Structure 1
Amino acid sequence: MSTDAPPGTARPPMTVLVADGNTRRARALSDDLRADPSLHVLSVPAGMALIDAVRQHQPDVVLVDMGRADRDALDSIRALSQPALERPVALFVDRDDVQLMETAFDIGICSYNVLDAPPDDVKPLLRAAIALYSRFQRTRGELTEAQRKLAEQKLVDQAKRLFMKNENATEDQAYRWFRRRAMQSARRIAAVAADYLSAHDRNDAP
């Protein structure tokens, strides 16, 4: 989904999917965007669900112009929270609503814009939405990795304590035993620890 290109090469067009229940407004917005050669603009066909259009076209960014949006209208955007479908979403509304804005950010909208009409040049808004989305993804990935490491360490510590109790071993001896088994089986120490705990009564663990 990246729009970056190697130095000295042309940047590929950014694919924008326009979603708007107002067919006339959607057509006018799409026509304006298509005047920019750096954008590849697609529209959600009448009768097609937004989630299906995203699945089909795999856009770089989704631009939603809802007019007076409401929470029901946000349900289709919420469906994009599936990992395989997540995309940065820029939302245009024509009425300020703090609660609606908070709901929009809660469901993953990256750019919430209160405008009577989309500006002549929406590229800065679209690129900002992509940048914010990328930053959020990195932060979430880092958090997930930290949680994984914490859970693995907790598992290893539990297995070491049980090993120390069962084998009358020191903590260093327990760790070396699990590390050796991990190296022999080419697996993570946490996986070996999980097998050890499964093979023994967890209720015996201190």
Structure 2
Amino acid sequence: MANQLTVVVVEEDRDRAIAIVDALRNGADCNVHVVGNTSGLARKIAEYAPDIVLIDIDHPTRDMLEELTLASGPLERPVAMFVSGAAGGLAQTAIEAGVSAYVVDGLSAERIKPVMDTAIARFSMVRQMRNELAETRRALEERKVIDRAKGLLMKAKGIDEDAAYALLRKTAMDQGRRVADVAEALVTASGLLG
């Protein structure tokens, strides 16, 4: 994140919004934007492209929670939600929806900065895990395609596995392509011919 954070505060009560903005400006180097009306929330948040979204809701309903978390793009940026009461089971729903921090007993000035820092850290950790998982899945899929291509070469040319892989690798090098791409082309061509 940049030195100066862009923060969107979703708060319908004007006085509370002013207090939150003051607390943010006193506690962190922020560029703060307040969204006071939740209609068209996704568009309003997207206009500001914030680094983090702070949502302050007294008593959220499940529908409101889903709408707000989806609108604020929890998979794109950290979202910290402050609620007044326990709201029976909504914490789990919020976390599953991607909210980085779910704070009960509302938003108080002295907790804003630590909660923001925690939400940003948690979001970064979850994003890194998602990226690593996607990379692992991609590598596994490539491995499956390479194994299938080796099997096709072994059967068609009567060679062993090492020789099949060496042929794939040599072809990839000769064509300036990745082994997985050559394997994919071979498997696709085999599907068309078979």
Give TM-score scaled by structure 1 length: 0.84
* CA root-mean-square deviation: 2.2
Q: Greater shift after overlay, 42-51 or 12-21?
A: 42-51
Query: Per the alignment, in what secondary structure is the counterpart of residue 85 of structure 2?
Result: coil
Work out whether residues 168 and 183 of structure 2, in 8 Å CA contact, stay in contact via their aligned partners in 1: yes
Supply the AA of the counterpart residue of 1:34. Answer: R
Supply the AA of the counterpart residue of 1:27. Answer: I
Shift of 1:121: 4.4
Map 1:15-94; keep pairs closer than 5 Å. Answer: 15-36=6-27, 38-44=29-35, 46=37, 49-74=40-65, 75-81=67-73, 86-94=76-84
Q: Which residue of 2 aligns with 1:111?
A: 101
Matches of 2:90 and 2:38, distance apart in 1 = 25
Shift of 1:48: 5.5
Pairs aligned (count): 193
Supply the AA of the counterpart residue of 2:64. Answer: A
In the alignment, which of 120, 145, 148 is matched to residue 138 of structure 2? Answer: 148
Query: Per the alignment, in what secondary structure is the counterpart of residue 135 of structure 1?
Result: helix
Work out whether residues 81 and 107 of structure 1, in 8 Å CA contact, stay in contact via their aligned partners in 2: no
After superposition, the Cα gap between the structure-2 partners of 1:95 and 1:121, relative to the gap in structure 1 and judged at 3 Å, is: closer
Q: Which residue of 1 aligns with 2:5?
A: 14
Matches of 2:31 and 2:63, distance apart in 1 = 29
Supply the AA of the counterpart residue of 1:19. Answer: V
Matches of 2:173 and 2:127, distance apart in 1 = 33
Q: Deviations over 1:109-142 (max 9, x none)?
A: 0111012442334111101100010011111111
* Structure with greater helix percent: 2
In the alignment, which of 102, 117, 122 is matched to residue 132 of structure 1? Answer: 122
Q: Which residue of 2 aligns with 1:7?
A: none
**Contiguous gaps of at least 5 residues in structure 1:** 4-11
Query: Per the alignment, in what secondary structure is the counterpart of residue 109 of structure 1?
Result: coil
Work out whether residues 13 and 39 of structure 1, in 8 Å CA contact, stay in contact via their aligned partners in 2: yes
**Contiguous gaps of at least 5 residues in structure 2:** none
Q: Deviations over 1:49-93 (max 9, x none)?
A: 23223321121111000111112212132244486xx11001000
Work out whether residues 92 and 118 of structure 1, in 8 Å CA contact, stay in contact via their aligned partners in 2: no
Matches of 2:36 and 2:83, distance apart in 1 = 20
Q: Greater shift after overlay, 60-69 or 48-57?
A: 48-57
